[in-house]
Amino acid sequence: MNYESIKYLRLKRQHMIEPVSESNYDRLFKDMSPVQTQFWIEPGSPPELLYRCEFDDALTNDMYRKDRTIIKGRFQGGNVAYCFFEDLPLYMAAFAKPIKRFTEHEEIVLNILKNEGAMDIDLIKEISGLLSKEVSKALQKLQKAFIVYEDQLDKERTRAFYILEEEFSDLDFNQYTKETAMQEVIRKFIHMNVYVNEDMIKSFTKFTNKDIKLSLEALFDAEIIIEVDEVFGQGYVLTDDIEEIMAVNSEVPDKVFILDLNDYLVKSNELILKDRFAKSDMKTLHYVMKKGEIIGRVLGYFRYGPNDLEDLEIDLDEEKIIEYKHPVTQALKETYKGQETALKKYCGKRI
């Protein structure tokens, strides 16, 4: 099995070779869900599938959340992300963190919402007498359990909270068990990445090692996946993908992408990337991908305005570092086009 073929098919499925049209966008969003917002962005912004669309999908998703075509939730360890309304039962079953014992604050907030109806944090605070941080903490826990739903219709800070199953009573929340939901999430994840290993699954889903192993065993027993042990590592592919992988005869485009920290490909490799790149006093602002491989990162500091771009590190040999300097620095310039900021160093050396 050729890893170049896997990379090509991965980029093709994620529409990083040919951007998706508006008519096919919903399918891509569903396949890549739950979709997080960009990491370095104004709070309350809609999600985006950066580099994957031939149109401004932030505008589309802003409209989608206004009419609840897409729904906000706390998935993957409690991260805020969006999925299509009809897919909520799947992701709720897979990612919910049940509350075994309610705290006093959680009971107070929950009873207020049950008895008084939907309201924002300020009103809950007024009725309960709790501090803002106490209300927020309780709401987050209730959201992670998918007991409470936060309605994010736009960028405004005032957001209403509802009892989820009352608000969406027309959805079948018994459609999946936790086990079948986790299996489907992992199956979709393998489909979009073509080849994955257990570290990748854990990076994206935040499932426990035990749940990942049990889900993979179930998918293997059902002949949905097969295990592969190639020179590039041990992992899993979908059984139905074998022929398509073997039939790929196109090369991965030699293109550079400056990836956001919440990009699907970064979230798919988060654990691997944290081990690969040394800790720094500076923040990792972006990862750099060239020809389907993450080869480096951009270091600097987040600012409300243009970020400070301190250094661009490439984790390759000296020959490649020299060869790649122009294309990767140009790609970074394009990412920050029109903003008053500039890269100061390339691999530790002043530009």
Quick: pLDDT tens for 249-270. 999 999 999 999 999 999 999 9
* CB distance 286 to 294 below 8 Å: no
Cα separation, 263 vs 48, in Å, equals 9
Cα separation, 105 vs 255, in Å, equals 51
Residue 225 DSSP SS3: strand
Residue 157: per-residue pLDDT: 63
High-pLDDT (> 90) share of the chain, %: 91
Task: State the CB neighbour count (10 A cutoff) for residue 152.
Answer: 21
Domain map (residue ranges) of the chain:
178-247, 277-350
Architecture of domain 178-247: Orthogonal Bundle (1.10)
Cα separation, 69 vs 218, in Å, equals 32
pLDDT band at 159 (very low <50, low <70, confident <90, very high): confident
Quick: pLDDT tens for 291-320. 999 999 999 999 888 899 999 999 999 999
Residue 29 DSSP SS3: helix
Q: Does the structure show a pLDDT above 70 at 156?
A: no
Q: Does the structure show a pLDDT above 90 at 113?
A: yes
Residue 131: per-residue pLDDT: 96
Quick: pLDDT tens for 30-52. 999 999 999 988 888 999 999 99
The mean per-residue pLDDT over the stretch 325-334 comes to: 97
pLDDT band at 155 (very low <50, low <70, confident <90, very high): low
Cα separation, 52 vs 38, in Å, equals 14
Closest CA to 287 of 225, 212, 112, 295: 295
* CB distance 225 to 211 below 8 Å: no
Tokens describing residue 18: 């040919």
Residue 250: per-residue pLDDT: 95
* CB distance 57 to 48 below 8 Å: yes
* CB distance 135 to 109 below 8 Å: yes
| DSSP-derived secondary structure for 186-197 | HHHHHHHHSSB-
Cα separation, 143 vs 164, in Å, equals 9
What ranges make up the beta strands (E) of 130-260?
148-151, 160-163, 225-230, 233-238, 256-259
Residue 230: per-residue pLDDT: 80
Task: State the CB neighbour count (10 A cutoff) for residue 276.
Answer: 11
pTM: 0.94
Q: Does the structure show a pLDDT above 70 at 180?
A: yes
